[in-house]
Each structure stands twice: as structure tokens, then as C-alpha cells.
Structure 1
Amino acid sequence: MKKTLTPRTTLAPGITKVLKRLHYPLEVMLLCVRWYVAYSLSLRNLEEMLAERDIGVDHSTVHRWVIKLVPLLEKTFRKHKRVVGTSWRVDETYIKVKGSWKYLYRAVDKAGNTVDFPFRARRDQAAAQRFFEKAIGQNGSPETVTIDKSGSGLAALNAVNAGRETPIKVRQVKYLNNLVEQDHRAIKRRTRPMLGFKDFNCARVILSGIELMHMIRKGQMRNDGFAATPAVQFHWLIA
């Protein structure tokens, strides 16, 4: 018989302070945040769906819940994230913010598990190097990193390797990066109905929420042998 995920007995750190300012039941806020980052729904869609349930919430309020709660959810998730492999595939995809293209750096291991996903205003060596240093700091060092023909990515890895006793093996093989390029689609599919973001910091938070739900669906949250749906795992991070 499968065990079920044990409910949390206390709220995650920081959530009590945030809840004092939001004035809605936690289960309602978490449901809206999960729906927004998991499915192709707009904020106005969620406003209408709540109205059908006799819950009067403005779409701007739902947006505020997302911005306030997602960083707390992600912080808790990272403490329970499964270890990733040592062969990484790295690529960037474009996200429009206020009419301009910005860059979502993403890495997955050879099993398709997400390594990291920083959102950057520029696509250059400095941004790529910060990405690699942050990913290594949080996930450990890879043995191999596969990148595209980007000069900035190669320069960034060469800079990272310059200070290492054991250098990371760098491969620039286009077909090997199909895995991360296909993984981009799940993120693009969710951002498409948003028709572009109006603020860089809000975009960064929302994208991290989308990535968070994507990782949970891929089974990247440690659950110590307990069976739980992605929805239950998501709500467990706070509730």
C-alpha cells in the first residue's frame, strides 16, 4: 500500500508574514497560484473561474498572490529538490518583456531533469558565466556541459574552467542539445497566452513559478517514498 505525503504541521518560513498582507484563505491563494503557473490561463480567466465559485477576487489581486508566494514556494522546493546528473545540456530561449527580447538560460541533465533557469536581460559572457557559477553552486559540478555554437557560452565556460583543478568538459554538438530545446516547449506553451510581460522582475518571478511546477511534474521533488500528485506536492511546499 502506498504511503501518502504527510501534511506539514507548520507554515514554511516567511509565509506567516506574507499572509498577514494578503487577507484571503491560504488554500484559495495556493490554488490560484498553481493554476496560473501550471496551465494556459490568464489572470482574467482565473478571476472569472473564482467568480463562478462566489469568490470575488480581482485579477490584479491574483497577480499579487503569484508575485508574493512563488519565491517562498521555490525557496522551499530547492531544499527538497532531487540531485541532478553530471552531464548538462544548456541553451537559452527568448521571452519578450515590454516589447524587448530577454533571455531565459536553462540547463537540463541527460535524463531531462531541470538543473537551473536564471532569467537575464542580456545574452553575453557575463550573464552566461553567472549562470554557470550559480548552477554549480546549487547543484554541484558537472563533468560535461553541452552548449550550442554560442561564443559567449564557450567563453563563459573557459572562464569557469580557468579556476578549476579538474576542468569541465565542453561539447558544442547541436543535436545533443535537442533535449533542452524540446524542454523549452513546456515553458513557451505556458507563457504564450501571456502575450509578453510588462515588467522584468515580475517576469522573473512568474517564470520561476512555471519552472517550479514543471520540475514537480517531472518528479524532481524528494518525497521520501511517499506517493503524491503534483498538486499535492505543490501545496505541501507551504500549506
Structure 2
Amino acid sequence: MILELVVPGRGSSASPSYKGHRYPVEVISHCVWLYFRFPLSFREVEELMPGRGVIVSHATVRRWCLKFGQAYANGLRRRRPRPGDTWHLDEVFIKINGERKYLRRAVDADGTVLDILVQNRRDTTAARRFFRTLLKKTCSVSRVVVTDKLRSYGAAHREVMPSVEHRCHQGLNNRAENSHQPIRQRERAMKGFRSVGGAQQFLAAFSGISLHFRPHRHLMTAAHYRAEMTVRFAIWDQITGAAGRPTTA
């Protein structure tokens, strides 16, 4: 998936407000980028920032990530092209405070995350809710839905998306299963999640920000990859509001 720059003022949404923050947007957006792109804790981000001449506490980094993380992810999501017509759905177990929960994800054929939802169960009611939130968030309907052989998917599909082709096969769903790997890595670095709400909040922002900076490098030449990353960082500066701001002494 190749991203293109959007000319500011032509259908682009306003960047978040930084009123009342004494640090410039460049510092705030850089800390948020570090936290969501790499497996770092708030304290590790704090330890990295003095190398850039910035002294900031881990508590401040945490507040920035909570306040701006989802806003940045939403801005990136609005810049994406329309999702492909084949959607891959899958779920994995995650531990939250020692209890087993279920993380459902939907990705298109390019691996773009369409929706993510943490649930207590994986029955038909839960699958039905996931289908409905997926349709609401994407504002579109796919041509094909690919899932594993979990029966609740079939029951929910017949009720919510009966006109969409449903392919149910374990081997066809590797794309969705492989897309869980970055989350597994981050879950290990964070030593698990403490609450369902906290997991949902983090993963929604993480999926939007982290994957923006993870193009399919294995399909690109080195020059193509550098050009693509330049575009993606320019988009990041646009949605955070850092683009075009004057540099202060």
C-alpha cells in the first residue's frame, strides 16, 4: 500500500489542539511516535529524550500518549485509501490481569488494520458485535470475508452480512494471524495489560500508528523504501500539526 500526501486545506481534518502545553508539538509528537512505534516504556522514552536536548518526565509522556495517541491514529486512518474488498478476521487470546480475554482483528488484503476489539467471550453475540462495529468503522462492505473455522463467525455472518461471501478455512487466514505478531511483541514488552479498557485504548492507537511506519519493506527496493518513509513521516507531521510550524530558538 503506497500512501500519498494530502494538500493541507483540501478535505484534511484539523490537527489536535496543543493549547496549554508548554512543550512544542514536535516534542510531543516525537514522544508519542517513540512509544507506539517501538517496544518502549514511558520511562525508556524519558531516558531517550535528553539525547535530543529535552527533559521530560515519564508521567508527562504517559499523559501525551493517552491524550494524543488515538487522535493521531484517527488522523492517519482518515488518510488511508479505501479498504480492499477481501477482509481477513481472526482472534487471539490475551491475558488481562491474569484473565483470558479475546482480541479480534480485521485486516484487508494489504494487511491494513480495519478494526480491533477486545472482548470477554468469542461466542456468536461477540462475533455479531464485532461485525457491526467493523461495518460502522469502515463505512463499507467487503466482497469476501475470510475467517477460521470458529462457528460463531458463520452464525454472525449469516445474520449481519448475509450477502457477503464467507470463506472459512484455517490456511486462508494466515494474513490476519500474522498481523498479530507486532501486538504479541508489544504485549511481552509491557508484561501484559491491566484492564480491558486500557488494552482497547492502547491497541486501537497502536494499530493505527505503528503500522503506518511499517510498510512492506520486503517488497521494496532500498530507494523505494526511503521514498515511502519520507512520505509517511510527512503525513505524520501533517496530522500532528508539526508540518509548516516555525522553528523556535
TM-score category (smaller protein) = 0.7 to 0.9
- Describe the shift of the 1:210–1:168 C-alpha distance in structure 2 as closer, same or farther (beyond 3 A): same
1:12-68 C-alpha deviation (Å, 9 max, x unpaired): 54722xx23543221111101111111121111111112344433221221111110
Q: Equivalent pairs: percent with the same residue?
A: 30
AA at the equivalent of 1:188: R
Unmatched segments (≥5 aa) in structure 2: 217-226, 242-249
Equivalent position SS for 2:91: strand
- Describe the shift of the 1:99–1:61 C-alpha distance in structure 2 as closer, same or farther (beyond 3 A): farther
Which residue does the alignment assign to 2:16?
15
Contact 1:7 1:236 in 2 (8 A): no
Question: How far did residue 190 of structure 1 move?
Answer: 2.6
The 2-side partners of 1:217 and 1:47 are apart by: 21
Which residue does the alignment assign to 1:142?
142
Which residue does the alignment assign to 1:108?
107
Equivalent position SS for 2:102: strand
- Describe the shift of the 1:148–1:6 C-alpha distance in structure 2 as closer, same or farther (beyond 3 A): closer
Which residue does the alignment assign to 1:156?
156
Given the two structures, how large is their TM-score scaled by the length of structure 1?
0.81
The 1-side partners of 2:6 and 2:83 are apart by: 24
RMSD of the TM alignment (CA)? 2.8
Which residue does the alignment assign to 2:87?
88
Given the two structures, how large is their TM-score scaled by the length of structure 2?
0.78
- Describe the shift of the 1:200–1:60 C-alpha distance in structure 2 as closer, same or farther (beyond 3 A): farther
Which residue does the alignment assign to 2:234?
232
Which residue does the alignment assign to 1:179?
175
Deviates more, 1:138-147 or 1:122-131: 122-131
The 1-side partners of 2:58 and 2:45 are apart by: 7
1:58-73 pair list within 5 angstroms: 58-73=57-72
Which residue does the alignment assign to 2:187?
191
Unmatched segments (≥5 aa) in structure 1: 221-225
Which residue does the alignment assign to 2:212?
216
- Describe the shift of the 1:69–1:88 C-alpha distance in structure 2 as closer, same or farther (beyond 3 A): same
1:120-163 C-alpha deviation (Å, 9 max, x unpaired): 343232222122122223331112111112122222112213xx
Deviates more, 1:197-206 or 1:176-185: 197-206
The 2-side partners of 1:72 and 1:98 are apart by: 27
Contact 1:12 1:238 in 2 (8 A): no
Equivalent position SS for 1:116: strand
Which residue does the alignment assign to 1:30?
29
The 1-side partners of 2:237 and 2:129 are apart by: 31
Contact 2:73 2:209 in 1 (8 A): no
The 1-side partners of 2:21 and 2:95 are apart by: 29
1:168-194 C-alpha deviation (Å, 9 max, x unpaired): 121210000111111111222233211
Larger RCO (alpha carbons 8 Å, 6+ apart): 1
